[in-house]
Structure formats: structure tokens, C-alpha cells
Amino acid sequence: MTAASAPHVHQPMFERIALIGIGLIGSSISHAARRAGLAKSIVGSARTPATVATALKLGIIDEGYASAREAADGADLVILCVPVGLCGPIAKEISPVLKPGAILTDVGSVKGSIVRDVAPHVPAGVHFVAGHPIAGTEQSGPESGFAELFDGRWCILTPEAGTDAAAVEKLKVFWQKLGSNVEIMAPDHHDLVLAITSHLPHLIAFNIVNTAAHLERVTDSEVIKFSAGGFRDFTRIAASDPVMWRDVFLNNKDAVLEMLGRFSEDLIALQRAIRFGDGDTLHKLFSDARSIRRGVIQAGQDTPAPNFGRTPAPATAKSGDEKA
């Protein structure tokens, strides 16, 4: 606000953003970054040539590469958008081409293992700040991304002590411009929080869908037809990418096992209340659960619309095997 201030000219935050992996999250970052004008160019790589071709066709990337190394070369922001288990090997691969002053980050759902696997490969002068946007859908691939995915959601950054403060701040502003709120946290605490808010919910959803699929006295067709009683919600979460989730559980073992232990303990207490017909315990516990829902809605993390605002099924929608 002084006479010496430069006139306001829109200057993208980054010259060249490299997306290593162009699935739901990578493509959504591109859409949101273009919406906010954050990059002069966005390039990317994927292991599957068809993914690169689709991303080019959809305008998600300006240049596409078969290798992470080529994509990362010369970028001032490199974002690893791959399953957690691939972050270490890719960091090793791209290490020689990382530009001094560049920021290296990721979007993985586990932070402790990624910091451990990636940090040793980061050259001096490159700023590594691990990150995790708490946003997604059950869909995968470059076609599934959209610019609004991060709007109003949280992104957690887990920089190590001693990381360049300006780089952390720049990445924070980047995520804010993508639409997110940003929180800084230690990697281990992130992994504990996400174990309960994301990893355990997915594990339970995968599990009940598989339990339902292997019953002898209830057919798959019945499970599907009568899924609107609650089960269908779990099938959505259980449709998420299997490789991504395998890597989450392999890399956040301790926190997940801790939360799973708590969950199972509580479930056994509920089972006991059912077995002995203890209605008061059931009623109290079910009533308590409502207040957390109110908190989630007040915090803007879910829609207040009934059934998530699902549109009612059209009157013509019918199952193919109506019997009665």
C-alpha cells in the first residue's frame, strides 16, 4: 500500500506444476488450479499410456509423459498423486531432476510412512512438505476429477521441523486457492486422526460388503434389491480404488489396529446389550450418536439434506427381477 508497490498483475504461483499420477485427485488439482489461475503450465505422468492420453485430451495436462522423471524435470511444484506405497520409489526416481527451490509434496492418505520413505531422497535446496487433502469420491481415473472437489474441505500439511517456512506457506496458500482450509499437523497425529475418520470407515465398509456377499441364506440379489435400508451407503465407500486402500492399510498399520481394537471392543459391548435385551443402553448409545452428526453439518463437512440429497429414484426405475 505504498507508492513503491508493484501494480497488481496476475502472476501464476507456479511456472510448471508436475502431477505424478493423474487419477481423481491429480485431475481435480489440475481443474481447481486452472480455475484459480495458479500455474503457467501443468504437466503430468502416468504409468498407463491411456491415462496420459485421456488427461491430454481433457486438457488436464499441457504435456504428458510416460515417466515421473520426465514430468518432474524443471517443475517448481511436483505433486505425487499416486498410491502411498509408490511415493518412496518415485521420489528416488525423480530426485536427480528436482529443481533447486522446487516444492515437492504429495496427497497420500498416510503421512508417517511417506515422510519416512520420501525425505531421504529429497536433494538439498528442494522443499519437501507432505500433504493430504481430505476429499474424494468413490470414483477413480482422470475423467473423475472436478474443480470443486476441495471446496470447503480440509487439507492437512505435515512438514518436518526445519522445513523452509516460506515453502510451507506457499503450499498452504496454494491449497487455499484450490478451495481448501489448511491445517498443519505432525505426521503421526495425522495418521491417528485419519485412522478413525477415514481408514476404519473404509475397512468396515469393505468388510460388511464382503460379509453380505458370502452369506448362504441370503442371496446377492436380495442384498442388492433391499440395500436401500442402509447397506447401499457402505457399497459406495467400498467401491473406492483397491490399490490405494491396500497401500493405506499396509502403511498405517499401527493406528488402524488401535482404532480397530477400540471399535471391536465397543461393538462387543453393543452385542452384549442386544443379547441381554438391554434397551436402555441401546437407546442411550443411539441418542448420543446424533450430536456428532449435528457437528459435522455445522462444520460444513456434509449436506443437511436427507439421504445426502440423493434425488428420488424416477418412478420408472425398476429392478429386473421383480417376483411378487
Q: Which residue has the cell 497488481?
A: 8
The rounded distance, in Å, linking the Cα atoms of 136 and 155 is: 12
Q: Are 25 and 145 in contact (CB under 8 A)?
A: yes
Q: How far apart are CA 67 and CA 139, in angstroms?
A: 24
Least separation in angstroms between residue 67's CB and a second copy is 24
The number of residues in the chain equals 324
Give the CA-trace dihedral at 45, 50, 54, 60, to 10 degrees. -10
* Window 232 to 291, contacts with a second copy (CB under 8 A): 232-240, 242-243, 245-247, 249-250, 253, 256-257, 259-260, 262-264, 266-267, 270-271, 273-275, 277, 279, 282-283, 285-290
Tell whether residue 302 is a contact of a second copy (CB under 8 A): yes
Residue 309 is a binding residue for a second copy (CB under 8 A) = yes
Given the complex with a second copy, which of 48 and 197 has the nearer CB atom? 197
Task: Pick one of 144, 164, 170, 186: the residue that binds a second copy (CB under 8 A).
Answer: 144
Within 194-233, the residues that bind a second copy by CB under 8 A are 194, 196-215, 217-218, 220-233
Under rule CB under 8 A, residue 16 binds a second copy: no
Q: Which stretch binds a second copy (CB under 8 A): 50-58, 86-94, 117-125, 302-310?
A: 302-310
Considering only CA atoms, which of 186, 196, 215 is closest in space to residue 257?
196
CB-CB neighbours of 273 under 10 Å: 17
Q: How many residues line the site for a second copy (CB under 8 A)?
A: 130
Instruction: Yes or no: say if 43 and 16 are a contact pair by the CB < 8 Å rule.
Output: yes
Applying CB under 8 A, among 51, 115, 182, 187 the residue interacting with a second copy is 182
∠ at Cα 200 (130, 232), nearest 5°?
120
CA 61 to the chain's CA centroid: 20
The answer to the question of residue 192 lying near a second copy (CB under 8 A) is: yes
Closest CA to 64 of 79, 74, 54: 54
Interface residue with a second copy among 114, 135, 167, 171 (CB under 8 A) is: 135
Site string for a second copy, 147-166 (x = CB under 8 A): -xx-xxxx-xx---------
Q: What track of x and - describes contact with a second copy for positions 90 through 109 (by CB under 8 A)?
A: -------------------x
